[in-house]
Amino acid sequence: MEFSIKAQSPEKVRTACVVVGVSEGRRLSPSAKVLDAAAGNHLSRLLKQGDLPAKVGKTLLLHGVPGLPAERVLLVSTGTEKTLNDRDFRTLVRAAVQSLDGTGVKDALFCLVEIPVAGRDVEWKLEQLVLTARETGYRITRVADQQDPPCTLAQISIPTPEKTKPAALATLISRSQAIANGMALTRDLGNLPPNLCTPSYLAESARTLGKQWKLKIEVLEQAHMEKLGMGALLAVAAGSRQPPKLIVMHYAGAAKSQKPVVLVGKGITFDTGGISLKPAPEMDEMKFDMCGAASVFGTMRAVAEMKLPINLIAVIPTCENMPDGNATRPGDIVRSMSGQTIEILNTDAEGRLILCDALTYAEKFEPDTIIDVATLTGACVIALGHEAAGLFANDDKLSEKLRAAGDYTGDRAWPLPLWEEYQEGLKSNFADVANVAGRPGGTITAASFLARFTRKMRWAHLDIAGVAYKGGREKGATGRPVKLFCRYLIQRSGH
């Protein structure tokens, strides 16, 4: 899907479809008014018949409107309010793309940036338009001979918004495209079946990404991890026939002297729970347990395509959590790379085990900021549902920046506390720390476990268990939190 800016007025544009907004009481948006006038009030006459309900996202497709070079006009309802909220604006864009997808419309003029959204400027609307349209046009790659037909809407043009510079708009579009490409990669990786998307596959994908985007790639093998003393990560990998990998990707967009941001993504390619086996229902969804890693892949790709002037390093611990004769037992004690010994009381709390060693390893990059991202706990889904990722940090400013980045993009994260008191539940009679506390505050105690390994760094943790994928009919990876990360990194880079 391509996007471009059109200087022409909408009633003059030769296109398969012009998309305009209409609000309750048949109030036409500025572009709709212009079309209506050129069409001898054809639109307002039709609307009087009541065919377009005043509900955000309802659409009405008109053919052969007189007086217009456009072949069709798509009316999209903007509901009853004068100004929309963020969500309504996205609904509008999604509805427009969905209603044109599968029709003969290959190119369309979207006159939607003119619609007022409370507290948001043209730049925000343009970016959201591109991202939402791309998200709507995304197709899952099927593991089958027959693929779903791609989105037929291939070209979207946008009338030049008032008071904007064309060069800035072009930059904004290509940047949004880069983010959308990153999200698509994240979704593609997340959606793959776990027999194909193994740790080795992720390592290969990193090498491919490295070649395409000039990233330096390192893949640490099991023997290397043993030498480094990554007892926690290796304890998770022990029950699987798939060898574990520790993938490192380097993007250098700034001077060497500039300390990097390090992103650490949980890459469990399948989580059976191990010996603490999970129940059968929905276990297939545990193929999404590598979505943290996938979001780091997507962010890396987006940042490289945007050429952000920052240094960014990805660290991805990846393995499978399987039960077999060599699997870790509940009660086993291992030594993590940090030196802390861990009593593994529940082998299903494996994410924190691979992450703690990856976080310790990442210290060597002397990060300015380190952020890990993981489908870490079911408890986070109970706490925040599918709206927001759980957000933890040992630095309030960092927490606020990530929260704000999530709010701006609609890829939200919400802060939860990391008080020392939560460490209490992680005490072990036999080792320095246990890998689980009780059920209360499960997302917080998981984050508190990780906090023990990041004391020397400015660190944040995103628990994306509730937001990284959808279950049920719409089952699939969402591409979150790539938008949040990109916004945070763009803001950081001052661009």
Nearer to Mn ion, 114 or 348 (CB): 348
Buried-exposed string 244-257: b where 16+ CB fall within 10 A, e elsewhere: bbbbbbbbbbeeee
Give yes or no: 26 in active site: no
Nearer to Zn ion, 260 or 351 (CB): 351
Q: Are 313 and 249 in contact (CB under 8 A)?
A: yes
The only residue of 105, 261, 296, 436 in contact with ligand BES, by rule CB under 6 A: 436
Site string for ligand BES, 266-285 (x = CB under 6 A): -----x--------------
The only residue of 289, 320, 343, 357 in contact with ligand BES, by rule CB under 6 A: 289
φ and ψ of 262, to 5 deg? -115, 130
What single string gives the DSSP state of each residue in 202-218? HHHHHHHHHHHHT-EEE
What span, in angstroms and rounded, lies between the C-alpha atoms of 218 and 241? 22
Return the range that interacts with ligand BES (CB under 6 A); candidates 79-87, 132-140, 229-237, 343-351: 343-351
350 is a contact residue toward ligand BES (CB under 6 A): yes
Catalytic residue among 72, 134, 287, 352: 352
- The residues, any chain, with a CB within 8 Å of residue 123's CB and separated by 6 or more, are 168, 172
**List of residues contacting Zn ion (CB under 5 A):** 268, 271, 289, 351
Return the range that interacts with ligand BES (CB under 6 A); candidates 29-37, 87-95, 109-117, 347-355: 347-355
Neighbours of 426 (CB within 10 A): 21
Name residues contacting ligand BES, limited to 462-481 (CB under 6 A): 465
Tell the smallest beta-carbon distance from residue 268 to Zn ion (Å). Answer: 5
- The residues, any chain, with a CB within 8 Å of residue 401's CB and separated by 6 or more, are 488, 491, 492
Residue 442 interacts with, from Mn ion, Zn ion, ligand BES, none (CB under 5-8 Å by kind):
ligand BES
Amino acid at residue number 324: D
Tell the smallest beta-carbon distance from residue 333 to ligand BES (Å). Answer: 17
Nearer to ligand BES, 38 or 374 (CB): 374
Burial class (CB in 10 A: 0-12, 13-18, 19+), 430: exposed
Catalytic residue among 26, 33, 120, 278: 278
φ and ψ of 20, to 5 deg? -135, 160
Give yes or no: 352 in active site: yes
Tell the smallest beta-carbon distance from residue 327 to ligand BES (Å). Answer: 15
348 is a contact residue toward ligand BES (CB under 6 A): yes
Nearer to ligand BES, 157 or 375 (CB): 375
Active site residues: 278, 352
